[in-house]
Amino acid sequence: MINVTYKRLGVLRRTYSQVAAPTKKQLSLPHKEVVELAYDLHLPERSVIKRMPCHPSEPIVFLHGLFGSKRNYKSDCQKIATALQTPVYTLDLRNHGLSEHAMPFDYNTLVNDVLNFLQKRQLNKVNVVGYSLGAKIAMLAALKHPEKFTSACIIDNSPVVQPQIRPFLKVFVKSCVHVIDQGAVSARDKLWRHKASQALKRYIPNGGIRDYLLNNVIINPPKRHEYRSPVIDYEDGFIHFRNPVRHMVQCAVADVSDWPVDIVQGKQFLGPVNFIKGTKSDFIDRKGEDAIAQYFPYYNVHPINATHFILNERPQEYVKAVVDFFKTTRAKLEKKRHTTEAAINDSPSKTLVKERNVN
């Protein structure tokens, strides 16, 4: 029987043992506490900001999801930058895009990578937009270091442990391993994308999800100035994923579904937070909504008719939702916070405490 999550995502659920195991010798990833993240900077069009130092007080930092990259959202982030007249930084997380491949892959480490990026570029305070994996990174970063973030826009994820998505993640990651190890698609084959898609189709019937994964495939070795992974043989004549997919079988499944409850116990982020929720997605359920209210008291939920893959299915709608949040909804949430804090300060119990302190 297929769980509702798999129906909605268009993923064929198979047991872990049914997915082909790696057949090639696996090298180890280096261990690095912090890696330098590759990034793109999208400046607003029709603005003088290109003539100025690019260190505004509140730019936006965009964090992608699992198997995503900054390249996927160039057009979207340029629209956001122009609509808000605000610079937008898009990052490649470790083990993604053009950033380094390294362990570990837990959320605390991923947050430290982002904080290192902000520090190196003297970005003292930013707004953050995060999708899926990037959403949890954004939430954890805001909770651990609220002084560095003005507001957050969280796309279809919640601050809870999600064991229900682990079987999906296993299929998601191992299907990519199957393409590399069993598909053996030549990089010179003009039909490489079709053949790789057919190999993925065995486990992932949804064509949109297959296209999303195939955006990570490369057919040419990295250029001299580009990052080269120590665990990928770029000269073997076959297609490769930019991600170290064999290593992500273990780390991504456990780490992506996790949430460091002990680290954030008792913490709150009091800035405005917008949650964009896919109405056909299970990533924000009742348990997730309760946790959202606990960690982020000044939040808004914006529903969009989509599965978890909102950014691919409804690009115009999610871009508009992000822009509208920063233009209008954020101010309403800030006003709500100020009203609440004023009411607390003016309460009789608070006044009594103040009088006692004076006496």
Other Cβ atoms closer than 10 A to 29: 22
Q: Is the distance from CB of 259 to CB of 107 less than 8 angstroms?
A: yes
Instruction: Give which of 59, 336, 97, 326 is closest to 217, Cα–Cα.
Output: 97
SS3 call for 1: coil
Q: Which two tokens stand for residue 236?
A: 């073997």
Is 132 designated active site? yes
Is 225 designated active site? no
The catalytically annotated residue of 92, 156, 181, 282 is 156
Is 236 designated active site? no
Q: Which two tokens stand for residue 14?
A: 């198979």
Query: 265 vs 111, 143, 144, 148, CA distance in Å?
Result: 17, 10, 10, 19
Q: Is the distance from CB of 128 to CB of 61 less than 8 angstroms?
A: yes
SS3 call for 267: coil
Exposure string of 87-98, with b = 16+ CB inside 10 Å and e = fewer, is: bbbbbbbbbbbb
**Those residues with Cβ within 8 angstroms of residue 117's Cβ, 6 or more apart along the chain or in another chain:** 36, 37, 39, 61, 89, 91, 123
The catalytically annotated residue of 69, 132, 197, 257 is 132
Query: 306 vs 15, 129, 288, 314, CA distance in Å?
Result: 27, 18, 18, 7
Q: Which two tokens stand for residue 234?
A: 């770029």
Instruction: Give which of 154, 148, 143, 161 is closest to 265, Cα–Cα.
Output: 143
Active site residues per annotation: 132, 156, 308
